[in-house]
Amino acid sequence: MIYGADGIYNSDLFQNAWAIATLALLSVCMITAVWAITGVWRSSTNYHRSGGKATLSVAAKVCVAVAALGFAAQSSQVAPPAIETALLHVGIDTLGSPAALSVDGKNLKINGLITYKVSERFKTLIDRHPEIKRISLTSLGGRSEAALQISSIISKRNLETVAVGECSSACTIIFLAGKTRALDVNSVLGFHGPRVLGMSDLEVRYSSQEVVEAYQAAGLSEAFINHALDTPPSEMWFPSDDILVETGAINLFTKAYVKQNHDEAIEQFKKEAPLKIDEFMSVVSAKRDDINITYTYVIAAREDEVDWASMSKRSERDANALICGDAISKLMVKSGATYSYLYVDQIGKKVGVPQIKECKNAL
């Protein structure tokens, strides 16, 4: 995540003139500094050759060397952000090519780096397509100011967001602005502290208030925000799905996510099946039908020997505690998943099928 020097970027001067003036001034300063350092060094050398004191000549060269080091250090802090900002004014973004934006029905896809051009294009497309309801995000990050501009539009229009693949760094600012924030299959959210050219990580940490406010507006906890922003810019923190659900960073799963989660549960079940619950009951199979998963229980008795009225209440209560007491599966239910428990007697006759379609009074 890279922050632009917004105070400079929003200058009242004409952009092209400002860029040319900045680059010209930097060039003059560097040329002048090199000329001055070289001149003093040569003068001290000539002074010594012409019979001057060696100590004075050496002292002059030491001072020049110190000055040269100081100039180099200062230039490394000042020049990069100034040059980068100047280039932005003339439409050159050093981050790379901007993300591709495309509209597919009610969905707008953003795939790639978040730049100022992307934020401008985003606003144009949103104004042109009022039917858009959801923003799909696949991005490794980009300009935080551009991300904040996009997130503001998303918030005002109550749009939905979905992370498809990796959504990291500045992309998370956009994602967290969604009214509903869905995680797609095999997708992750990545967080780290911002990077500002010319500033230390500590200085940046306390100058990123807009990012903090964006995370707070999404309902993230202080502990989560601190962990995210304290992660060095050179690293990336990918919270687990459990953490993302529990902290409220995501509040929905896509249908593809639900299906894969069911399939993984079935594969895990096959490794352990059949599961004996007690001397009268075993779980013998699990299968998926779209976003519904069904577990089959076999009761070691005939259907007419089972007190299904009382058994069904207990079974549904236990299933509700199991499913709705877990953060991931509870959100799966909210996302449309259903959990069915088919009970059959010893000859395969259906006894009953409790289902969990919503979580009520979940633990």
107-132 pLDDT, tens per residue? 999 999 999 999 999 999 999 999 99
Considering the domain architecture, whether residues 243 and 260 belong to the same structural domain is answered as no
Percentage of the chain modeled with pLDDT above 90 = 58
Q: Please tell me the predicted confidence (pLDDT) of residue 363.
A: 41
HSE toward the beta carbon, residue 80, CA cutoff 13 A = 13
Considering the domain architecture, whether residues 110 and 231 belong to the same structural domain is answered as yes
As a whole number, mean pLDDT of residues 19-41 equals 69
Considering the domain architecture, whether residues 265 and 339 belong to the same structural domain is answered as yes
Q: Kindly state whether residue 362 falls inside one of the protein's structural domains.
A: no
pTM of the model: 0.75
Contact (CB, 8 A) for 114 and 99: yes
Contact (CB, 8 A) for 355 and 349: no
Q: Please tell me the predicted confidence (pLDDT) of residue 268.
A: 95
pLDDT of 324 strictly over 90: yes
Considering the domain architecture, whether residues 193 and 282 belong to the same structural domain is answered as no
CATH number of the domain within which 236 lies: 3.90.226.10
Q: Please tell me the predicted confidence (pLDDT) of residue 360.
A: 78
Q: Please tell me the predicted confidence (pLDDT) of residue 4.
A: 39
Domain end, chosen from 202, 222, 253, is at 253
Q: Kindly state whether residue 104 falls inside one of the protein's structural domains.
A: yes
Considering the domain architecture, whether residues 137 and 221 belong to the same structural domain is answered as yes
* Average confidence score pLDDT of the chain: 84
Q: Kindly state whether residue 281 falls inside one of the protein's structural domains.
A: yes
Report how far residue 37's alpha carbon sits from residue 29's, in angstroms, rounded to the nearest whole number. 12
Considering the domain architecture, whether residues 78 and 151 belong to the same structural domain is answered as no
pLDDT of 251 strictly over 60: yes
As a whole number, mean pLDDT of residues 296-311 equals 90
CATH number of the domain within which 264 lies: 3.30.300.250
Q: Which residue has the higher pLDDT, 331 or 71?
A: 331
Q: Kindly state whether residue 156 falls inside one of the protein's structural domains.
A: yes
- pLDDT-based confidence at 177, cuts 50/70/90? very high
Considering the domain architecture, whether residues 287 and 345 belong to the same structural domain is answered as yes
Burial class (CB in 10 A: 0-12, 13-18, 19+), 267: exposed
Winning range, highest mean pLDDT, from 58-62, 89-93, 188-192 = 188-192
- pLDDT-based confidence at 59, cuts 50/70/90? confident
Considering the domain architecture, whether residues 235 and 288 belong to the same structural domain is answered as no
Q: Please tell me the predicted confidence (pLDDT) of residue 115.
A: 92
pLDDT of 206 strictly over 50: no
Q: Kindly state whether residue 1 falls inside one of the protein's structural domains.
A: no
Considering the domain architecture, whether residues 207 and 180 belong to the same structural domain is answered as yes
Considering the domain architecture, whether residues 118 and 246 belong to the same structural domain is answered as yes
Tokens 């790379």 appear where?
Answer: 96
pLDDT of 308 strictly over 70: yes
Number of domains forming the structure of the chain: 3
Range of the domain at 263: 256-356
Considering the domain architecture, whether residues 116 and 152 belong to the same structural domain is answered as yes
Q: Kindly state whether residue 95 falls inside one of the protein's structural domains.
A: no
Q: Please tell me the predicted confidence (pLDDT) of residue 142.
A: 92
Contact (CB, 8 A) for 192 and 233: yes
Pairing status of strand 355-356 against strand 281-289: unpaired
Domain end, chosen from 24, 56, 89, is at 89
Q: Kindly state whether residue 271 falls inside one of the protein's structural domains.
A: yes
Considering the domain architecture, whether residues 112 and 222 belong to the same structural domain is answered as yes
Domain end, chosen from 47, 70, 89, is at 89
